[in-house]
Amino acid sequence: MTHRNAALTPVQRVRLAPLIVDDGWPIAHAAVFFHVSWPTAKRWAERYELAGAAGMEDRSSRPHRVSNRTPQPLVRKIVHLRWKKRLGPVGIGAKLNMPASTVHAVLVRVRLNRLHHVDVRTGEPVRRYEHDRPGSMIHVDVKKIGNIPDGGGHRFVGRQQGDRNRAATPGKPRNHHYNPKIGTAFVHTVIDDHSRVAYAEIHDDETAVTAVSVLRRAAAWFAARGITVERVLSDNGPAYKSHLWRDTCAELRIRPKKTRPYRPQTNGKIERFHRTLADGWAFSRHYNSESARRAALPAWLHEYNHHRPHTAIGAKPPISRLINLPGQYI
């Protein structure tokens, strides 16, 4: 590519070369006139003589043939070790007796230098999917988070002070070591597959009765925004395998679907949402009590749905994909 301060742009080359070839200017005289070297003027004159004005354009400096290019069978071995063993350039180079720099160059060429798009378990390229409209499928799951003692947990106040806060928290049962049991918060989460709009509630259990109640309220919450839920994808937890869950889905005209056992990647959208939930809300700052953290969840969900850019949908907030909301034009 020609930089902005180049002495000879393609336009200037078309002016220089005909003066030498057609008008008979001496190469040295034309070089001085256009403020370039004698070899440069001669090169463009020769190219103009061979190809005309079309030869004045920039050409790629890439060689037509690379004599020492890595053989294709060896490239296949590198790709195989990268996919199946998830080895880096150093590990692959040690197995194939190759320089790590050469292995890295091959991985860059075949776009395997980063592994974020390769499945951890199978080593195959990740198969991503997205339903074509809101409500076509929702994902449900439960995120378990330890409750915060009064005064703050050990993540922010340290282990010793955190233990003191646990001991000082009133009204807590004791375990067999007479240590207070702070308990667990069960965050029941629902996320729309197409828009990534999220709904969540915090409860003290993950029973089928609670899960069904969350599903009813979530379906009503989506319906208030013009979205009809058609399918629900869950893992194989006891609540989602219960007859109550099955009957409630039938009542709401929602088709229940299950992930493959021991295969959380199938429900990967909500698993990734749980990480965002933990980073953005659960462990984002110091909370003096569990009630303070729970009170902060609605505001964070509003920020996530209405303002936070989501990289999977073009750096737009999830609510922007619900095109039937008042004031939403996309």
> Average pLDDT in the 77-82 region?
90
Can you give the pLDDT at residue 229?
A: 94
Longest dimension (CA), the chain: 103
| Per-residue pLDDT band at 171 (split at 50, 70, 90) | low
Query: Angle, to 10 degrees, between the axis of helix 72-80 and the axis of helix 89-96?
Result: 130
Is the pLDDT higher at 50 or at 5?
A: 50
Can you give the pLDDT at residue 123?
A: 54
Q: Where do the structural domains in the chain lie, given as residue ranges?
A: 10-56, 70-127, 138-147+183-321
Q: What token pair was written down for 61?
A: 């400096």
Whether this model's pTM surpasses 0.75: no
Can you give the pLDDT at residue 155?
A: 73
- Tokens 């350039």 label which residue? 89
> Average pLDDT in the 135-146 region?
93
User: How far does CA 189 lie from the centroid of its chain?
Assistant: 19
Can you give the pLDDT at residue 2?
A: 58
Most confident of 96-110, 143-157, 311-325: 96-110
Can you give the pLDDT at residue 69?
A: 84
249 vs 130: CA distance, rounded Å: 22
Can you give the pLDDT at residue 118?
A: 65
Weakest mean pLDDT among 29-38, 62-71, 185-194, 267-276: 62-71
Q: What is the pLDDT of residues 104-134, one digit of tens each?
A: 999 998 888 877 666 655 555 556 778 888 9
Helices then strands, counting H and E runs in the chain, come out as 12, 5
Is the pLDDT higher at 90 or at 174?
A: 90
Q: What token pair was written down for 242?
A: 């219960």
| Per-residue pLDDT band at 201 (split at 50, 70, 90) | very high
pLDDT of 308 higher than 80: yes
> Average pLDDT in the 287-305 region?
93
What count of Cα atoms within 13 Å lies in the side-chain half-sphere of residue 46?
6
Walk across the sheet containing 231-234 and list its strands.
198-203, 184-192, 138-146, 231-234, 255-258
Can you give the pLDDT at residue 330?
A: 39
For residue 231, report the phi and psi dihedrals to the nearest 5 degrees. -135, 155
How much is the mean pLDDT over the chain? 85
Can you give the pLDDT at residue 87?
A: 85
Fold of 138-147+183-321: Nucleotidyltransferase; domain 5 (3.30.420)
Which amino acid appears at position 222 of this protein? F
50 vs 62: CA distance, rounded Å: 21
> Average pLDDT in the 224-252 region?
94
Can you give the pLDDT at residue 39?
A: 92
Q: What token pair was written down for 84?
A: 């199946």
10 Å CB burial of residue 266 (0-12, 13-18, 19+) is: middle
> Average pLDDT in the 276-281 region?
92
Torsion of CA 288, 290, 295, 300, to 10 degrees: 90
Percent of the chain topping pLDDT 70: 87
225 vs 218: CA distance, rounded Å: 11
